Chains A and B, each alone.
Chain A
Amino acid sequence: MKEINSKRSIAYLLEALTISIIIFGILYSSIPIIQKKVEQEIIKYSTKNVIDAIDNAITSILSSPSEDVLLKLIIEPKARKELRDKLIIFNTDRIKFILILYKDPIRDKIRYIMDVFEGGYDVGTPFTPYSLDSDKNEIDVVRKVSNDGIDTYLKHEDNNIIGITYYHAYVQKGIVKLVVAIDFSFETLKEIENMAFYIKWAILFVILFIGVIFLLVLYSIFRNFLLKQKAFTDSLTGVYNRNYLESIRDMINPKHYVVVMTDIDHFKKVNDSFGHERGDLVLREFAKTIAKNLRKNDLVFRYGGEEFLILLNTPKKNKEVVFNILDRIRKSVEDNVVDGIKVTASFGVFLETNKAKDLEDAIKKADSALYKAKEKGRNRIEFFKEDDDIPNLSIPDIIKIIENEDVVCYYQPVMNVKENKVLYYEALARLKYKGEILPPLPYISLIKGTRAYANFTKLIIKFNIKILKKYKDLKIGINLSSSDFLNEEILKILRDLDDEFVRRIYLEITDAEDIKNYEPFKKNIDGLIEKGYNLVLDDFGKGNTDFVLLTEMNVRYIKIDGLIVKNITRSPDYYNIFKHIATFSKEIGKEPIAEFIENEEILQKVIETGVKYGQGFYFGRPLPIERIYRINE
Chain B
Amino acid sequence: MFYKGFFLQNLATSLTLFLIINIFFIKISMAGDLVSVCSNNKNDIKTKALAKFVSDITGKSNPKLCVVGSSENDLNLFNNAKKANRSELNSADIVFVKNLQTNVNVGKITFALDCKSLKYCPNCLGVFFVKNGRTMLVIFEEELKKISLKLPSKYNNYIDSRKYLNCN
Contacts and interface: CB of A to CB of B under 8 A. Distances in A.
B133 A122 contact: no
Nearest to B157: A139
A111 B160 CA distance: 11
Interface stretch (A127-135, A492-500, A554-562, A581-589): A127-135
B116 to A, nearest CB: 12
Interface stretch (A113-121, A403-411, A590-598): A113-121
Contact of B166 (A96, A121, A137, A159): A121
A402 to B, nearest CB: 109
Contacts of A96: 132-133
Interface stretch (B32-40, B64-72, B85-93, B134-142): B134-142
Given A97-B132, A107-B160, A109-B160, A130 B49 contact: yes
Contacts of A134: 154
Contacts of A159: 133-134
Given A121-B166, A122-B166, A124-B164, A129 B136 contact: yes
B158 interface: yes
A120 B167 CA distance: 8
Contacts of B49: 130-132
- Majority-rule SS of B interface residues: mixed
Interface in A95-152: 96-97, 99, 107, 109, 111, 115, 118, 120-122, 124-132, 134, 137-140
B76 to A, nearest CB: 19
Nearest to A143: B157
A118 B132 contact: yes
A128 B168 contact: no
A96 B97 CA distance: 29
Contact of B133 (A107, A121, A137, A161): A161
B48 interface: yes
Contacts of A125: 164-166
A99 B133 CA distance: 12
Interface residues of B, number: 21
A125 B132 CA distance: 13
Given A126-B138, A128-B138, A137 B157 contact: yes
Contacts, number: 65
Contact of B135 (A115, A118, A126, A129): A129
Interface string B25-60: 000000000000000000000001100110000000
Contacts of B158: 126, 128, 130
A77 to B, nearest CB: 14
Contacts of A156: 133
B128 interface: yes
B16 to A, nearest CB: 42
Interface in B130-166: 131-138, 154, 157-158, 160, 164-166
A118 B48 CA distance: 27
A130 B168 CA distance: 21
Contacts of B52: 132
Nearest to A126: B160
Given A96-B133, A126-B138, A162-B133, A132 B160 contact: no
Nearest to B136: A128
Contacts of A109: 157, 160, 164
B165 A120 contact: no
A131 B137 CA distance: 9
A140 B168 contact: no
Contacts of A111: 164
Contacts of A367: none
B133 A130 contact: no
Contacts of A39: none
Interface string A484-503: 00000000000000000000
Given A109-B157, A126-B160, 13 more contacts: A97-B133, A99-B132, A115-B131, A118-B131, A121-B166, A126-B136, A126-B165, A127-B136, A128-B138, A128-B157, A130-B128, A183-B132, A183-B133
28 contacts: A96-B132, A96-B133, A109-B157, A109-B164, A111-B164, A115-B131, A118-B132, A121-B131, A121-B166, A124-B164, A125-B164, A125-B165, A125-B166, A126-B160, A128-B137, A129-B134, A129-B135, A130-B128, A130-B135, A130-B136, A132-B48, A134-B154, A138-B134, A139-B157, A140-B157, A161-B133, A162-B133, A162-B134
10 tightest A-B CB contacts, nearest first:
A161-B133, A130-B137, A129-B134, A122-B166, A162-B133, A139-B157, A126-B160, A97-B132, A128-B158, A128-B136
Interface of A: 96-97, 99, 107, 109, 111, 115, 118, 120-122, 124-132, 134, 137-140, 156, 159, 161-162, 183
